[in-house]
A = this chain, B = another copy of it.
Amino acid sequence: MRDHIELNDHERAWENLAVTYMTLQRARDLELGQMGLTIPQAAVLYMLKATEEPLTPMKLSRRLNRQPHTVSALLTRMETQGLVKTNRDLQRKNWVRVSLTKKGEAAFKRQLSARTSLNATSCLSKKEIDTLNATCKKLRVKGVELIRQMQRGPYSDPLFQ
């Protein structure tokens, strides 16, 4: 059975990268958890803070690359915690606009001081970081190319449906 699951060098590198990212993400999650936040919550606070234009749940869902129902549940929890508020747009009544509350602003500022895990590459030399950045750039180009190829397929491109 196991011989089906054997990985080649590329697949091992992929798994390696995945496990590394998930380990670092877990560290970030614990760090944010110490201030009562999760990674998606911190991402929402960041987006609301960094963007000038009004954000709807749909726009947030696109930027977070998450399903609309996942973002909707996330926002409901954050509203209950008093971190964000949602208001119907006066011009377009079916639009909901999400914004930070004072408590959300405070949470955003608090998490800015929790950045130890974001500095994990401090264990690398300047040269190693440069090489990592260059490798990541190549991998992103490859990733985007793969995504485009698959989105052009007959089952995923809305133009062909």
Contacts and interface: CB of A to CB of B under 8 A. Distances in A.
Interface stretch (A15-23, A54-62, A89-97): A15-23
Interface residues of A, number: 66
Contact of A129 (B9, B24, B129): B9
A124 to B, nearest CB: 6
Nearest to A11: B118
Contacts of A116: 146
A10 to B, nearest CB: 4
A147 B27 CA distance: 5
B150 A138 contact: no
A65 interface: yes
Contacts of A20: 17, 136, 139-140, 143
> Which of A24, A112, A117 has the most chain B CB atoms inside 10 A of its CB?
A24
A22 B132 CA distance: 16
Interface in A116-147: 116-124, 128-129, 131-133, 135-144, 146-147
B122 A10 contact: yes
A160 interface: no
Interface string A21-59: 111111100110110000000000010011000000000
Contacts of A115: 11
Contact of A24 (B17, B109, B122, B150): B17
Contacts of A122: 10, 142
10 contacts: A1-B49, A4-B109, A7-B118, A9-B129, A17-B24, A18-B21, A116-B146, A120-B142, A123-B141, A128-B138
